[in-house]
Amino acid sequence: MLFPKDTLTREVKDLSGIWRFKPDPENKGREEEWYKAPLHDTIPMPVPASYNDITQDAALRDHIGDVWYEQTFIAPRSWSGDRIVLWVGGACHHAVVWVNGAEAAAHKGGFLPFEADITELIVHGQENRVTIVVNNVLSWQTLPPGRIKTFDDEKHPEGYRVQEYFHDFFNYAGLHRPVKLYRTSQSYIKDITTTADVQAGTGIVYYTVEASRPEGEVRVRLLDEDGITVATSKGSSGTLRVENARLWKPLQAYLYSFHAEVWGADGEREDHYQLQIGIRTVKVEGTRFLINGEPFYFKGFGKHEDSDIRGKGVDQTVNVKDMNLLRWINANSFRTSHYPYAEELLDLADREGIVVIGEVPAVGFTFFNYNDKVYAPDKANDETLAHHLEVLTALIARDKNHPSVVMWSLANEAANFQEESVPYFRQLADTARRLDPHRPITIVQWPLPDKCRVSQFFDVICVNRYYSWYQDPGALELVEHQVEWELKGWFRTFGKPVIMSEYGADAIAGFHQDPPVMFTEEYQQELLTRYHNVFDRLDFVIGEHVWAFADFATKQGITRVGGNKKGIFTRQRQPKAAAHMLRRRWSEMGDYS
Ligand code: GCB
């Protein structure tokens, strides 16, 4: 599926803005067919945004179940005869879409787009109605997982229930990404796949263009940043050669425009689509992560899509600010913890040369108890695996052409110390390699190396660990000993390069104490510094991603005071003391290592 774009043949109408919104606390809307007629008693709701923090109503913030969105649009008369598609960038977590009362699409999974051909459902030159029901319930068969807990005791009112989930970030919900309408001709480009190689300075781009009408003639052009055509080709798959190619490099991005067109026998251009691509290679060799054959050291963060008021709603203002902060702090990378981020952010990362590890929303498949089986028929079962595979496939399909994305992360902190997880992750790893043989894969670890049963399937070991925080809280003097012991254990056991993909401490901006104590800015800075001392003496460590980029909202609980405060920036994107330390360190380390 291609991101909706204006091109020489396509036109996009963005339906973002204020939608009519109605919570459905009794979950009766589907049965009463609320989509059949305009919704009544609605409140205004911005799209894209999470609905949770928009009103003053705690019941809406903590709502479990369906909410309804409605918008009207005019399909221009000039579009009649064309193929009209409705694209939903992300509906957290399940959605059904109706157009003028007829079902157009149903989708499970909150972090990836879906679309529907609605050509037959709309009336041109008149108002059309789109209704979307969005449901936020998490179960063992969703990514991320969760479960509804109902109380059957006298202490709770009858029917009282809560949504439990096993990750800390708040379960924001709603239409988090734009909703767009676009038109193509009836003969159109369905998908484009590009991969690149470099041979003695010549850039080689292999491409495949999948057209809806196989007899259409496919023509392809590659333009440099000055708009000069550097290579052309014909046919639905082929090779483009670029002499003296400018490579896409970390923090020094160079993007070529890849243009694909489908032409009809009558000499008419039927469809045109363009992609920004980079010529670069990625490979793991021994203990090195090579980008264009040069060792790359990951400096950066685990992030979240999270900001005040809009929750997980895409906001390009926040996205550009975040990119600027990454450059300011001399970071070169981030992980899309713990779910695929909006493609709008990946476009910025492509442009800025920020390296990305793309993660599937498989977070929380663990209990911190070795004996409680997670990969079991009543929890993460065959249906869960099928969905996990489906989401992985959709993620690779969406992001495969982004030069910034260099590795796939298939899960965060799964119970892969359990024997039953082995076939589960073997299948996922095999699938990722088959779908994308060009990018390394990883899984982000929680168990210790001697307990992990799946790292043999992956190229890079990513480790999350919170010494002197969740373990031995306050004991900064233990950090170096423990980090070194563990990281050496990973290398000894699997012989693969290691990224510390999470480490950190909560710091409440403005809290100070020396000698450092937990929750102060001094403690956060001191803890990170001690981790760094270890990384600097271990050759097989190829990266450090601090947890987290910015403070973020969490579910309420006794370990969180107004959210997770492990951010190096506050939620409002202001630096804590550790930001200045990281900025110095990462500047001194240079661009690559
Ligand atoms: C983790 C998780 C991350 C949490 C973090 C924490 O291991 O991967 O999602 O936010 O710990 O701060 O507890």
Residue where a domain stops, chosen among 149, 184, 219 = 184
- Is there a single domain that holds both residue 430 and residue 328? yes
How high is the pLDDT of residue 372?
Answer: 84
Which one of the listed residues 343, 486, 502, 544 is annotated catalytic?
502
> Both tokens of residue 234?
């014909």
Residue where a domain stops, chosen among 230, 249, 280 = 280
Looking at the domain assignment, is residue 155 inside a domain?
no
- Is there a single domain that holds both residue 329 and residue 396? yes
- Is there a single domain that holds both residue 118 and residue 180? yes
Q: What are phi and psi of 507, to 5 degrees?
A: -140, 125
Instruction: Give the up-direction half-sphere exposure of residue 404: CA atoms within 13 A in the CB hemisphere.
Output: 27
What is the rounded CA–CA span in Å between residue 327 and residue 90?
Answer: 27
- Is there a single domain that holds both residue 400 and residue 386? yes
Q: Which alpha helices (H) appear in 353-444, and where do they start and end?
A: 382-399, 421-435
Q: What does the pLDDT average to over 463-471?
A: 97
566 lines ligand 1 (CB under 6 A): yes
Find where tokens 């004991």 sit. 475
Looking at the domain assignment, is residue 532 inside a domain?
yes
Looking at the domain assignment, is residue 287 inside a domain?
no
Range of the domain at 235: 189-280
Query: Does residue 405 have a pLDDT over 90?
Result: yes
> Both tokens of residue 262?
């489908």
pLDDT in tens, 213-264: 989 999 999 999 999 999 999 999 999 999 999 999 999 999 999 999 999 9
Substitution candidate for ligand 1 out of 446, 466, 501, 547 with most atoms within 8 A of CB: 547
Residue 593: band (very low, low, confident or very high) from pLDDT cuts 50, 70, 90: very low
Residue where a domain stops, chosen among 184, 209, 241 = 184
- Is there a single domain that holds both residue 114 and residue 196? no
Asked whether 287 and 542 are in contact (CB, 8 A), the reply is: yes
Instruction: CATH number of the domain at 274, please.
Output: 2.60.40.10
Looking at the domain assignment, is residue 144 inside a domain?
no
115 lines ligand 1 (CB under 6 A): no
Looking at the domain assignment, is residue 152 inside a domain?
no
How high is the pLDDT of residue 4?
Answer: 98
- Is there a single domain that holds both residue 452 and residue 327? yes
Query: Could you tell me if residue 360 is left (phi over 0), alpha (psi between -120 and 50 degrees) or otherwise beta?
Result: beta
Specify whether 154 is catalytic: no
With both helix axes pointing from N to C terminus, report the angle between 316-328 and 343-352 in degrees, rounded to the nearest 10.
30
- Is there a single domain that holds both residue 348 and residue 237? no
Q: What does the pLDDT average to over 530-547?
A: 98
What is the bridge-based pairing of β-strands 17-23 and 66-74? antiparallel
- Is there a single domain that holds both residue 106 and residue 211? no
Query: Does residue 292 have a pLDDT over 50?
Result: yes
What is the rounded CA–CA span in Å between residue 285 and residue 298?
Answer: 15
> Both tokens of residue 502?
């999470």
Q: What are phi and psi of 6, to 5 degrees?
A: -75, 130
Nearest-CA neighbor of 227 among 261, 257, 252, 203? 257
pLDDT in tens, 60-81: 999 999 999 999 999 888 999 9
How high is the pLDDT of residue 125?
Answer: 86
Q: Relative to the CA of 444, which ligand 1 atom is closest?
A: 8
> Both tokens of residue 371?
């004996």
How high is the pLDDT of residue 591?
Answer: 65
Looking at the domain assignment, is residue 163 inside a domain?
no
Instruction: Give the up-direction half-sphere exposure of residue 507: CA atoms within 13 A in the CB hemisphere.
Output: 33
Alpha carbon separation from 110 to 107, 144, 166, 186, 307 (Å, rounded) = 9, 9, 17, 29, 17
Substitution candidate for ligand 1 out of 303, 357, 444, 502 with most atoms within 8 A of CB: 502
What is the rounded CA–CA span in Å between residue 391 and residue 409?
Answer: 12
Looking at the domain assignment, is residue 6 inside a domain?
no
How high is the pLDDT of residue 366?
Answer: 86
Question: Which stretch of DSSP H or E encloses residue 323?
Answer: helix 316-328
Which range (137-146, 222-231, 249-258, 366-375) has the least confidence?
366-375
Q: What are phi and psi of 194, to 5 degrees?
A: -125, 145
Find where tokens 């014909």 sit. 234
> Both tokens of residue 204?
């080689």
Instruction: CATH number of the domain at 425, please.
Output: 3.20.20.80
413 lines ligand 1 (CB under 6 A): yes
3-class secondary-structure state, position 533 = helix
- Is there a single domain that holds both residue 248 and residue 342? no
- Is there a single domain that holds both residue 397 and residue 504? yes
564 lines ligand 1 (CB under 6 A): yes
Task: Say which residues have a Cβ less than 8 Å from residue 550's Cβ, sequence separation at least 6.
Answer: 303, 304, 306, 322, 567, 568, 569, 570, 571, 573
With both helix axes pointing from N to C terminus, report the angle between 343-352 and 382-399 in degrees, rounded to the nearest 10.
50
How high is the pLDDT of residue 306?
Answer: 98
Instruction: CATH number of the domain at 27, please.
Output: 2.60.120.260
State CA 498 to chain mean position distance. Answer: 21
Q: What does the pLDDT average to over 350-373?
A: 90
Asked whether 176 and 361 are in contact (CB, 8 A), the reply is: no
**Residue-level length of the chain:** 593
Mean residue pLDDT across the chain: 96
Domain count of the fold of the chain = 3
Q: Whose CA is nearest to atom 13 of ligand 1?
A: 168
3-class secondary-structure state, position 117 = strand
pLDDT in tens, 414-442: 999 999 999 999 999 999 999 999 999 99
506 lines ligand 1 (CB under 6 A): no
Supply the DSSP string of 223-263, one letter for each residue: E-TTS-EEEEEESSEEEEEETTPPPPBTTB---EEEEEEEE
State the greatest distance between any 2 C-alpha atoms of the chain, in Å, as a whole number. Answer: 78
What is the rounded CA–CA span in Å between residue 432 and residue 428?
Answer: 6
Question: Which stretch of DSSP H or E encloses residue 344?
Answer: helix 343-352
Residue 488: band (very low, low, confident or very high) from pLDDT cuts 50, 70, 90: very high
- Is there a single domain that holds both residue 367 and residue 509? yes
Looking at the domain assignment, is residue 157 inside a domain?
no
Query: Could you tell me if residue 524 is left (phi over 0), alpha (psi between -120 and 50 degrees) or otherwise beta?
Result: alpha
Residue 369: band (very low, low, confident or very high) from pLDDT cuts 50, 70, 90: low
- Is there a single domain that holds both residue 313 and residue 271? no
